Structure 1
Amino acid sequence: MSDRTIHSLADIERLESTPLDQRLEGFDSSYDVFRRAAKAWPDAPALSFLPQGSADEAALTVSYKELFSNITRAANLFHTLGVGASDVVSYLLPNLPQTHFALWGGQAAGIVNPINPLLEAEQIAALLNEVSCKVLVTLGRSAGPELWDKVVQLRGKVPSLQAVLVVNESAPEEGALSFDIELLKMPADHLLSGRRIKRDDICAYFHTGGTTGTPKTARHSHGNELANAWCGTVAVDLGPGDTLLCGLPLFHVNGVIVTGLTAFMAGSHVLLAGPQGYRNRAMLAQFWQLVERFRITTFSAVPTVYAALMSVPRGEADLSSLRFGICGAAPMPAALIRQFEQSTGIRILEGYGLTEGTCISAINPRDGERRPGSIGLRIPYQQMKPVILDEQGVYVRDCAVDEIGVLTISGPNVFAGYMQEEANRKLWIDGRWLNTGDLARRDADGYFWLTGRQKELIIRGGHNIDPAVIEEALMRHPAVQLAAAVGKPDRYAGELPVAYVTLHEGASVSQEELIDYARTAIPERAAVPGEIFVVGSLPLTAVGKVFKPHLRNDATEHVLRTVLAPCVQQASEWQVSVEPHPVHGVYARIVLTAPQPLHSEITQAIDEAMAGFSLKYEVTWVAA
């Protein structure tokens, strides 16, 4: 049996008989990964880039020797701009070769801070100020006019910002430098700083996705990233003969670690399938041709991408190189796994990860039994367990087998905490176990099963309903492509389940038919949704997760429009919106137009109608 074979938890425990320090001998930083790769595989392809994500265009390929040289140049460029070990290099970039140069060069010089370029200028400025960004790498006006406009808006709002570098610009705007030109001025064979990087040095600040509230800034150390990357190479058995397609953004840990550092540690080849990755529909339409041309062996994606790929014709494309796909950025309905595997013949390894755990925390064993719907086994060297907490979030006990509790993790991949100290309160259990905020159970064989987030449970009259029960059932309907279930407020039950679905191309089904189907497909009567909305698309985060807060807000608006309609008949105009709130989570804004003498009467009626809801709200009057 190979040392890297993983059939079961026993194999993971066998791997752990060798200390992790021994596994990582010779690696003290991410920079060491590229130094070693350049020596071991100097002429092998490290990165290939398709400017348009098209299967028939010429690819720009960067060897491991060239990649290491450019990372070293980037580190030296940042150093000359005043970046030290505790200073921050932020980047606002799509998926480009230069993104990797800035990412890993930033870690060699100081601390790198990837930021989602789709955010608004005010949000970006707030994140840059949070980390006291010293250097920003982005696109210039000709390469990225919309992004450059954001940079122009925020430059005066970030006092710590000393330099802006622009990619793919030969003649940058005043006040900016050309990243590509300046790189060529730097030495490529050594670090000018002479820095000796240690494993516990902070190397990255990642802002969380914000699906559960205001984004927080997670601190990663070099040791965190090295441990997670090594576990990734073992989990999917990567080597120099593998090619990984990167379609997820390089401001997210999945793109950076799974189809980034993990691949480079193994000497594998990474294909950047266009600047926009999976967000480029043209790339998705040619996905199977890309697999054939580049002999792709694996890729990582979210459930929405797998659902979309089922509708992409495969034609005569040779897919024999593809060993499996990885899904770990969001729970994947078991029905979708079965549909995809039956349709394509390609295995899916479903896993689980979070920014706070660097990236990967669990995955189904590639050599052993895959249990659809589970997130698989924990990775080596990281412990994982569900626990029972009291109402104050204090540890009570570990969960029994198949008992649902709050999922906790502990190990070398687990971060040291957020930059914001207030965000670290109640984050740790007994000092070393990270509270992930997810609910899960562990079966007798060590497989973990997510049962939702603490805030995603639908609580109907004190009865907990797992949204996955509804989603799994609806996904089995032949017309349904994706489903998402949330709770809508109810004055009597607290919450009632409601669902949103998208349909396969060309499919048609009514709300009534879906509800009738749900009554037979969902074994739990209380979980049957009273409403099922057929929509053209589900709201997604930047990395393709279904953004459930938006759906919950939409469901709440539907309820309030019905509840408030009798109260506001005397108003000439009115509307209600449900919005995020920093203190209350969400709140309702009710805006009305009516003669002033009627304000008191209408307000009283609204107060009576809203009395049964825990939702905070405010009434605003607009002059007639």
Structure 2
Amino acid sequence: MQHLDQITTVYELIEQAAAVGGDSTAITFLEAITPEIRDSRTSYTELLAAVNRSARLARSHLDDRSGVVSLLLPNIPQTQAILWGAESVAIANPVNPLLSETALAGLLATAGTEVIFALGPNPVIDIWEKVQAVAPKLPRLKQIYSVVFPDPGGTRPHYDQAVLEQDAGGLPDAWRPRPDDVAAYFHTGGTTGIPKLALHTHKNQVTTGCNRARYSGNAAGDVVINGLPLFHVAGSTVSSLGTLAAIGNMLLPTLGGFRNPEVISHCWRLVEHYRIAFTGGIPTSVAAMMQVPVGDADISSLKMVAAGGSPVPLSLIDAVQAVTGLPIHQMYGMTETAGLITVPNAAVTPVRGSVGWVPPVTEIRIDGAAGQPGEVGEIYVRGPQVFGGYLGSQPSPLDARGWLHSGDLGYLDKHGHLFLTGRAKDLIIRSGHNIDPAVIEHCAEQHPAVSLAAAVGKPDAYAGELPVLYVQLNSDRQVDADTLQAFIAERIEEPPACPKQVTIMEALPVTAVGKIHKPSLRAMAAESAVLENLRRDFPDLELSAAGDQTERGELRVTVTVPLASLEAVAAAAEAVATRMNLLVTAVVAS
């Protein structure tokens, strides 16, 4: 892959890929799975032409490359062309289209959006309607394009037609980006309140894409499935740019991606049909795949199963080996590192429990450690993929020497494999004793019935927090909460970490990209704590509670009570709030 050494911008990556790949397939779009598989294909030459056309279309509404182009689109061929085209001549801003109108308005206004490309009106998802509602709140907005589905009112131009009127030739030198130009704003952190928009330069994204290509063992023409959304770095810089840099064939599985249940239920049929070499995704998606029987499907084409976005449960490591015969490769990264810190290295056997191998271009420092392998501390990262900060006045997680404060706890072994032990902010503090949730989760995941596990702190008036555990079971196994709690108690090495309560759920709450959403679990734990306290004082009342997390990260619980008891319960709720450092409100049942 000598062509990778000359790449300094995303546009150069697409140009070089087209020069090498030519008429070979760059993108296969899976249009339908049932009753029969149907697809369309885009060559590397055609992809470059689409990127050039999309860049010119976006640029026609902008004064210079500081203009912002926002995308509210699924991961489809049009989105690939628009995203890389926008980055080539402006600043792209891929946004999660499932966000509320309020969150979308905040993100787009903060970004300074001038042009929007959004999925047109359709009966399945209301992206177009939300965009129309948000548009009047965007003072810099100049144009909105519908994509795939045209605007039936004809008031908004249709991208699929307008782009064909643009020149497909190479971009003028004056428009082309430089390595340190901002390529994109990616939203991260909370999606309510003040949005955090991470600034990605071309150097950041190219480093990630080329590292993925260099070490994955991806040969030209290998089919790589990418069912992740492009507003997430795993879908865009890692899976998309990484596959294109390696001259692979990127399979985009329907408009729904991995959120389409048919993609998961037919995963092995797709491996056989397309001879997929690389599969994987967020651990929750991979876990769902492993529940699907392989049957008589020929999956011998698989070279690698990879997962990232959150640590992989030990039970899933074993499941992938059992189902595919392959070890699972993990990768670890953040939006602030354009997607990758560690990489899945095909030349190195993955180490059980490690989140991946650290490539030479990346520096890792374990804060507080004396430099010996195995010492745990906060992970600091430095390298060309590390971003320069957030848009606006948001405080930067970088120190004066360019080290990124990750917020993750972990350690390195002597071979350069990185291990995560938890999140600094996820620590459960029980009577002054710091408990790493991973200790509880790893213990629970040893039980054969457990698919996923997540430990959080439950507010407690005496101890501050008590560890509680939420689990999702494998579809073919059963265990009750008491048995699982006893299983953990027998094995956990840190007695204070033994969960005081185990809750079995049909499915753990996850984010739009499939990560376990711990704020939801913390809110559930807070609900439980408040109700337990109030029911001791009001055993005969019908009480219910709803918990959430405020924009500032505070836990808030709203208790619903009968009108006649409102005053008494409100006073008790205030006392509970003080003891547990929560926000608790009593309201009348409707």
The C-alpha deviation readout for 1:453-483, integer Å capped at 9, x for no partner, is: 1111122222222222222222222222221
Equivalent pair of 1:164/1:175 in contact (CA under 8 Å): no
Distance 1:365 1:187, change over 3 A: closer
Please report how far the alpha carbon of residue 212 of structure 1 lies from its aligned counterpart in structure 2 after TM superposition.
11
1:463-612 → structure 2 map (5 Å cutoff): 463-568=433-538, 574-583=543-552, 585-595=554-564, 599=567, 602-612=569-579
**Residue 315 of structure 2, aligned match among 310, 330, 335:** 335
1:266 aligns with 2:246: yes
Distance 1:486 1:431, change over 3 A: same
For 2:222, the equivalent position in structure 1 comes to 242
The C-alpha deviation readout for 1:424-444, integer Å capped at 9, x for no partner, is: 2xx123431010111111223
Partners of 1:611 and 1:145 lie apart in 2 by 42
Counterpart of 1:529, as a letter, is P
Counterpart of 2:113, as a letter, is C
Query: Structure 2-normalised TM-score?
Result: 0.94
Distance 1:211 1:134, change over 3 A: closer
For 2:360, the equivalent position in structure 1 comes to 380
Please report how far the alpha carbon of residue 82 of structure 1 lies from its aligned counterpart in structure 2 after TM superposition.
2.4
1:447 aligns with 2:414: no
Counterpart of 1:552, as a letter, is R
For 1:392, the equivalent position in structure 2 comes to none
The farther-off stretch of 475-484 and 57-66 is 475-484
Partners of 2:570 and 2:192 lie apart in 1 by 32
For 1:416, the equivalent position in structure 2 comes to 388
Please report how far the alpha carbon of residue 314 of structure 1 lies from its aligned counterpart in structure 2 after TM superposition.
0.8
For 1:316, the equivalent position in structure 2 comes to 296
Distance 1:45 1:177, change over 3 A: same
Equivalent pair of 1:51/1:274 in contact (CA under 8 Å): yes
The C-alpha deviation readout for 1:168-205, integer Å capped at 9, x for no partner, is: 23565343111011111000013268413110000100
Partners of 1:141 and 1:212 lie apart in 2 by 25
The farther-off stretch of 41-50 and 205-214 is 205-214
Partners of 1:464 and 1:23 lie apart in 2 by 49
The farther-off stretch of 531-540 and 291-300 is 291-300
For 1:64, the equivalent position in structure 2 comes to 44
Alignment: residue pair count: 590
Equivalent pair of 2:437/2:454 in contact (CA under 8 Å): yes
**Residue 368 of structure 1, aligned match among 330, 348, 351:** 348
Counterpart of 1:256, as a letter, is S
Counterpart of 1:467, as a letter, is P
**Residue 184 of structure 1, aligned match among 128, 144, 164:** 164
Partners of 2:193 and 2:419 lie apart in 1 by 24
Q: What RMSD in Å do the two structures reach over aligned CA positions?
A: 2.4
Please report how far the alpha carbon of residue 398 of structure 1 lies from its aligned counterpart in structure 2 after TM superposition.
5.6
Equivalent pair of 1:49/1:96 in contact (CA under 8 Å): yes
Equivalent pair of 1:244/1:270 in contact (CA under 8 Å): yes
For 2:580, the equivalent position in structure 1 comes to 613
Please report how far the alpha carbon of residue 114 of structure 1 lies from its aligned counterpart in structure 2 after TM superposition.
0.4
The farther-off stretch of 560-569 and 347-356 is 560-569
Equivalent pair of 2:196/2:394 in contact (CA under 8 Å): no
Partners of 2:370 and 2:210 lie apart in 1 by 28
Equivalent pair of 2:472/2:504 in contact (CA under 8 Å): yes
Query: Structure 1-normalised TM-score?
Result: 0.89
Please report how far the alpha carbon of residue 54 of structure 1 lies from its aligned counterpart in structure 2 after TM superposition.
5.1
SS at 2:580 equivalent = coil
1:347-362 → structure 2 map (5 Å cutoff): 347-362=327-342
Partners of 1:38 and 1:120 lie apart in 2 by 38
Distance 1:320 1:431, change over 3 A: same
Distance 1:319 1:587, change over 3 A: same
Counterpart of 2:580, as a letter, is F
Partners of 2:135 and 2:10 lie apart in 1 by 30
SS at 2:178 equivalent = coil
For 1:95, the equivalent position in structure 2 comes to 75
Please report how far the alpha carbon of residue 152 of structure 1 lies from its aligned counterpart in structure 2 after TM superposition.
1.9
SS at 2:38 equivalent = coil
Please report how far the alpha carbon of residue 36 of structure 1 lies from its aligned counterpart in structure 2 after TM superposition.
1.6
SS at 2:210 equivalent = helix
Distance 1:429 1:138, change over 3 A: same
Equivalent pair of 2:32/2:39 in contact (CA under 8 Å): no
Partners of 1:54 and 1:359 lie apart in 2 by 33
The C-alpha deviation readout for 1:511-557, integer Å capped at 9, x for no partner, is: 11111211223232222212111111110001110001101110111
Partners of 1:220 and 1:143 lie apart in 2 by 34
The farther-off stretch of 525-534 and 57-66 is 525-534
Q: Which runs of 5+ in 1 are unaligned?
A: 5-21, 389-396
Question: Percent identical across equivalent pairs?
Answer: 36
Please report how far the alpha carbon of residue 292 of structure 1 lies from its aligned counterpart in structure 2 after TM superposition.
1.2
For 1:12, the equivalent position in structure 2 comes to none
1:221-300 → structure 2 map (5 Å cutoff): 221-300=201-280
Equivalent pair of 1:263/1:270 in contact (CA under 8 Å): yes
Counterpart of 1:614, as a letter, is N
Partners of 1:602 and 1:56 lie apart in 2 by 59
Please report how far the alpha carbon of residue 579 of structure 1 lies from its aligned counterpart in structure 2 after TM superposition.
2.1
The farther-off stretch of 113-122 and 466-475 is 466-475
For 1:17, the equivalent position in structure 2 comes to none
1:131 aligns with 2:111: yes
Counterpart of 1:42, as a letter, is G
Partners of 1:623 and 1:321 lie apart in 2 by 58
Q: Which runs of 5+ in 2 are unaligned?
A: none
Partners of 2:542 and 2:31 lie apart in 1 by 50
